[in-house]
Structure formats: structure tokens, C-alpha cells
Chains A and B, each alone.
Chain A
Amino acid sequence: MGQSSQKNETSLSNHQLNVMPSIALYLKTHQPFRIKHYRAFDVGYDHEYFNDQSDKNTNNVKILKKICEKSYKPTNKLLLELLKKHPEFTFSISLSGVLLEQLEAHAPATLETFKKLVDTGRVEILGETYYHSLSFYYSLSEFEIQVKLQNKILKRLFGVTPKVFSNTELAYRNDLALWAENNGYKGVIAEGWDPVLGWRSPNFVYQPPHTKKIKLLLKNYRMSDDIAFRFSNKEWSEWPLTADKFAHWVNAVNGNGETVNLFMDYETFGEHQWESTGIFDFLRHMPKEILKNKDNGFKTVSETCKAYNVKDVVDMPHIVTWADTERDLTAWTGNSMQQSSLSELYRIENQILATKDKVLIDDWRKLQTSDHVYYMCTKWSADGDVHKYFSPYDSPYEAFISFTNALSDLKLRAKIT
């Protein structure tokens, strides 16, 4: 880190830069309804796909409670303290509908801690799909329904309506921005991926092509990943990462950018990076260290959109995500099991909706959650196995078998052949 943010200095010298960078911290919060070990013999008999009560990692209640204890509760407590302590501190979050549904049912006290954060008026919630799906790329009408459902639950639980849109896995393409603009959003976020940006820095606000007013915020993946992925890596030359070291890197963006967009999974704090790594201490000191430089500040995503003028048009005609070194959708659609699961799921859309059976439709939508196909990814199984950490199944094949059996049962219920 460090060198990367300096390399664009000369190319940007023609811009007028008077402002020190602000930090846009955005935490993406989501938990899927994992499918239990669902066998061929269960098809036609058992219609509960998500109710595992065993000791396995497909037991959603068990996992939710674990994550609440390890991540959500301690992190929310700390964030609330930081908001009280530093009037300048502000940030953004998103919470998928499927997570909110689980929190309401099984961890209402933790849900309250999220509400408290939002009640401060300094925590902005982004828009997304309720089911954390990739529906934008498969069925626009289904996608729009899921966005509406998400807005509805956000209104009910938090009393807010999102102004900036964040798609599942940051899966972004030009037409998503166009859709967001037409639907009243002020901004949309995406990965700040070098092959797309070229010489340009992610530390500015951009405009998607063919849009009028909507702004595009790009993730500074180097600095985000320093926290989200590398924080506990002892092989990393910058380990251990301290808050003051990180603040120095932010200061180095001075004159070289207007915003540092730190986008990461909420579960970074306490779950992906365990408490023992010192991640909470890092977060505790981060605002203070950054604010030591009086020109630095924090902004929510809407404030960032509003504060800065666009510097250029960034064209992203192909889907870019925040995953893997390829930053594409291959973690979700890379093999034929994944492709066939997704195409079958959306092939039956009209027939499922025609049943008007609320439970059935909801189950179908829960199967659309992107995690299910992610668990089927075979890209990494040969070596490092990055995906395995996030999978509750023994192998991508077992993930496929339970999914596809559940889908067979769903089709049987809807009398689809």
C-alpha cells in the first residue's frame, strides 16, 4: 500500500484540489438462508429447506447467533461509542432483507443495536435487493420487486429510504447506473478496478455513461482490502496494521484524491478478522487517528456524492464485482452447475409467480440468494480454497446437490415439469 495511491499524482495535476480526502466507510451486512442437507428422498415430502436444527453450519439460527456475538453486537457497540465520541464520524451500511428477517425472528436485541446506530442520523443505509440476489442480470422485473421489498423493510424497521444503490456483491454494469438514476437514486457504488480505471484514481467521484446526475463511487480496493483481507496476515510486509499507520496512508492521498471509499463486509469486524487479531482496537482508534489531521473527515455515501463534482465518465460495459482477482461473476457463474442452477431458477419465474402462493414465492426468492451458487464454486478447490472458508458445505458438489434437490421440490409444489 502507499505507492499505488501516488502513481496518479502527475496525471491529475491539472485538477484543482483544495480538499483533503474524506473517508466513506461502507459496511455491507448480509447472511443468507442456507439450505440444509436436503436429499433426493426429501423431495415431495419436506418443504422446509432452511430449517436445519443440527449442529452443522447450515443451521442458520446457530450461525446468526454466533455472528451476532462475535461481530454485530461488539461492533455496533463500538461504532455507537465512536459516533458519540467523534461528532465528525459518520458512515454507511446496508443490511440485506434476508438478514433483517433473521434478526427480527432470532436476534431482536441485535436488531435494536442497528436501529440505535441509524437513529443517530449519522449512519446512512444503502439500497439493494431484499434477497441479496443477482436478479438484475437475469430478470429486471424480479429485481425491481426485490428492491421494493427491501425498501419496504428498511422503511418499516428504520424509517428511511435509501438514496444510493449497492448491488449484490457490487456486481455493477453501466445499465445498473441508468436504472438507478431512473429510479431516483443519487448515487451507485462499484469496485474501483484498475483495468477499468486505467490511469484514473478511485479517489474521485465519477459519472456513468449516458446518465445525467447520478454519481458513481468506486471502492479503493487496496486500502479496503488492507483492513478486510490483509489485516491479520503476518506474511504481509505492513503487518501489524495500526490505526495511525492507516491514517498516514489516508493523509498520503492528500492532493491526490477527494474521497477514500472503504467498502467491505460488515463481518470483517469480529468474524472474518477475529477479535484476537486486534481488529476492534484498530477500529476504536481509526477515527481519532484520521481526524488528527484537521482537514480529514468522514462522509456518508450520499454526502460524498453531494460534496464532489464528477471528474470523468467511467464506462463499465461488462459486469465488474468485488470478488477474486478477476473481479467478475465467475465465482457465481463459473461452472455448469452454477449456470444451470441460475438459468433453471429464472426459467420458472412466471410459473412460480402464477401460483400466487406467498410461501412458495418467498422460498423461490430465498433460493435466489447469491450465496447458494457461490458455495458451488469450483475455481479454488484445487489449491488455496478461499471459498471454503465461507461455505457451510463439505464441497461445491454437496452444495449443488442440496440446492438442486430443493429446487426440484419447489417445482413439484408449483406443479412445474
Chain B
Amino acid sequence: MSAKKVLMFGWEYPPHHSGGLGVACKGIAHALIDNDVHVCFMLPKTLALNEVKVPIVFADKHLNQAPVATHLEILARELQNPYISSVEYEKRLTIFMNAGGKIIPRSLFEQVDYYGALVSTLSKKELDQYDVIHAHDWLCFKAGIAAKKMTDKPFVAHIHATEFDRCGGNTVNQDVYNREREGMHTADHIITVSELTKRTVVEHYGVDPSKVTVVHNGNESQPHVVSEKYTALAKLKQHGKKIVLFAGRITIQKGVDYFVHAARKVLEYEKGVYFLVAGTGDMEDQIKTLTRDLGISEHFLFTGYYTLQDQTSMYTLADLVVMPSVSEPFGIIPLEAMSNGTPVIVSKQSGVAEVITHALKVDFWDTDEMANQILAVIHHPVLRETLTKEGFTQAKGITWDKAAKKMKLLYQTIS
């Protein structure tokens, strides 16, 4: 069989990224190329990237924009973060305006539509050279649909998250839902990152399950480095204190409030534990208030925004990482932690729980059991040791290469 040429539509790309989507896209593109699939990766607008392996095309290339990252541009980009709620969007918009932003940025929906419009302006000849169109999440579906319309090539819609996950049980945004649904129903095939997400796609979007293939994410581990700024935490550890880490966006989807309630229960039994909350999000103030109301704020540390390097430092220092997500299509944090030698507790409402066995699993709402598991890991070094040892080996085996091989096979069957 001849090697397939794939035109892949992404929204963001490391190091410019706001969520896990860019990281996942990079992992997929690299692994596909390693598996002899010709991938061309398209992004909506020109960025300064340091990518040598994957050919990148910017949809706005003919508009000749200069990539200048000014303070304002960063703020503008933060506004386009697809993961923020409307409350957070307004908050960021205010910051942008206060910083002297004169133009009102196009809404996220306009951005998405604009991406599709840009693809429509590309030449048919340029698009026709590809065998498969592959678009990541609803942000890229307009672009993918545009390419499909022009070429009639098979279109794969890749679902990393749905609106139902992002809302954590609250009302979904109908506009987002409609665009997701349109992409899924136009697609010739759908990839979901877990069985959990497949169920969502089938049950909430009316998709025929035979059209959906589950391809679990891979994991690219970062080296252990503890940066200087974590010496305070390292000192706590030297004094025999235990550190339990939550890392991720502080939003309703991520279940941070359940983490706080579990912490309260843990502290009833064990005082020498500190809870580190790393990340930002629209629930940040609410969570801080909750720790004060419960009288446990002295045991909580909030890091705010963190970098990739911060993240590995935190994994290394933490005794345990908890991912209490209410709804998590996959969840890369536990795999990263495991490959850094840190044991994890994951919510059963996560896709990653389908692929790891060397982890503790808990229903996100069962904060008593979450506390029981946290106490067990803290009190019993042999439990931590076994979880660490087995988890490390397991996480190393969950690779993008495996994911890419599945995708390659899928490309062969649909084109």
C-alpha cells in the first residue's frame, strides 16, 4: 500500500498553546511521520514556530502577516482560548481593553469561520494532493469541511473533547454544540480519544457508533528537572511534609472543588500534608474562598500560571498527583506524572482510566474514597513504591507511536 498523504488541520501548536490540544497534535504529527505517513499540518494564522520535522502551512500565508508577539497580542491570544468560559472571556476582554487594546478581537466563532473561509481561498490543486483530511476538534471542523467540499476526500474528525466535557454538567453552548455536530456528521470517520468520549459522541450527537474509532492518546515524557523556584516546596518535603498536587485548569470540568473537599477529610487524619493547586481558571477565586471557608487554606498553595518546566518540577516534588475531573475525555496529566515517577489517583470519569491499571481510581464525587486513597499513599511507602515502579513502566508504554499506527490503519481503510 502506498504511503498516504494527510492534510491535518490544527488550531494551536507548541510552544504557542493554551490547552493540551497543541501538544497532542504535535505528538500525533511526529508519530505519523515516523510511521511513514506524509503529514502536512495547517494552522489558522502565522506563528513563529520551531518545528523542523513536520511541514507546517499557515492558512493566512498569503495575507503576509508578520508574527510579532507583543504584550497585546498575547492578551488577544488569551482571549481566544477555546477552553475558557464566558465569564472568563469577559474578564480577559477587560484586561485586554485596559492594556490599551484598540481593536475588538473577532469572537472565537468568527475565528473558526474565518479559518474555514481561508481554506476555501486555497487552490484546489494544492488541496488535491492529499488523500485524507484530518481535523482536530470543533475549532478546525469548518476548515476540514471546507477542504472536504473542495476535494471530496475522506474527512476524519478527531474529538479530543466535547462541549459536554467542558461544561462539567452545566448548560452546553448551543453554537459550539452545533458546530461539533456538523463536523461529526460531515465526517466520513470519527476518532475519539477514549471509549468515554465515544459514548458521548454516540449518545449526545447521534453518531453511528460503527463510524467511530477509539485511539487513546500517547505520552511524551519530559525530563526531571527541579527549577530553582521550587526550593520552598523542597524544604517542606525535607521536613517530612507530604505534597499532593492538582495540575490543570481551575474550572468546573476539572473537579478542583472535589479535590478541596477530599483534602479537608485528609487533614482531619493527617496534618502534615500540603495541597498544591497549579494552574489558572475561572474558578480560582471560588476555590480559594472554599479553602478559607473550610479552614484549610494554610494547607493550600496556589501557583497560578505554570510552564512545562514548572510542571515537571512539581511532578518530581509531589508525593501524589490527583486528577479529580468531572468529565475528562482523556487526561494527559496522570501519564506525565507516572512517567516522572509520581503515583496518581484518577477519576473514573476519565479516558485515561481506560488505559492505565497501575493507578488508583475513584469516582470524582466520592471525596471520602479520594481521601482514603490519598491517606493510603501517604501512609504506606510500599504502596507508593509499587504504584511508582509499575506506573512508570506502564506510562512509558503508552506512546503516540501506538496511536499513529492505529490512525495509519484507519487512513488505509477509508481512502
Contact = CB atoms under 8 A, between A and B. Distances in A.
Interface of A: 39-41, 335-337, 339-340, 378, 381-382, 385, 394-398, 400-401, 404-405
B245 to A, nearest CB: 18
Contacts of B358: 378, 381-382, 397
Contacts of B386: 335-337, 378, 396-397, 400
A336 B385 contact: yes
Nearest to B374: A40
B408 to A, nearest CB: 23
B383 A398 contact: no
Contacts, number: 66
Contacts of B294: none
Contacts of A398: 360
Nearest to A340: B382
A335 B390 CA distance: 10
Contacts of A382: 357-358, 390, 393-394, 397
A337 B383 contact: yes
Interface string B397-411: 100000000000000
A401 B357 CA distance: 15
Contact of B383 (A39, A339, A397): A397
Nearest to A401: B376
Contacts of B383: 337, 397, 400-401, 404
Contacts of A400: 376, 380, 382-383, 386
B373 interface: yes
B293 to A, nearest CB: 22
8 contacts: A335-B386, A337-B382, A340-B380, A381-B357, A382-B390, A395-B361, A400-B382, A404-B376
A-B pairs with lowest CB-CB distance, top 4: A39-B372, A40-B375, A381-B357, A340-B382
Nearest to A398: B360
Contacts of B379: 40
B368 A39 contact: yes
B360 A395 contact: yes
Nearest to A394: B361
Interface residues of B, number: 25
A404 B379 CA distance: 10
Given A378-B358, A382-B394, A395-B361, A405 B382 contact: no
A336 B386 CA distance: 7
Contacts of A405: 376
Contacts of B376: 40, 400-401, 404-405
Contacts of B357: 381-382, 385, 395
B128 interface: no
Contact of B360 (A39, A335, A397, A404): A397
Given A381-B358, A382-B394, A395-B357, A401 B372 contact: yes
B182 interface: no
A40 B372 CA distance: 6
B390 A378 contact: yes
A340 B381 CA distance: 10
B370 to A, nearest CB: 11
B373 A401 contact: yes
A396 to B, nearest CB: 8
A268 B369 CA distance: 35
Given A39-B369, A378-B386, A404-B380, 5 more contacts: A41-B371, A337-B380, A385-B357, A394-B361, A401-B373
Contacts of B368: 39, 41
Contacts of A335: 386, 390
A408 to B, nearest CB: 9
Contacts of A401: 372-373, 376, 380, 383
A41 B262 CA distance: 13
B143 interface: no
A40 B269 contact: yes
Contacts of B191: none
Contacts of B360: 395, 397-398
B57 to A, nearest CB: 40
A254 B368 CA distance: 63
Nearest to A382: B394
B390 A381 contact: yes
A167 to B, nearest CB: 26
Contacts of A40: 269, 371-372, 375-376, 379
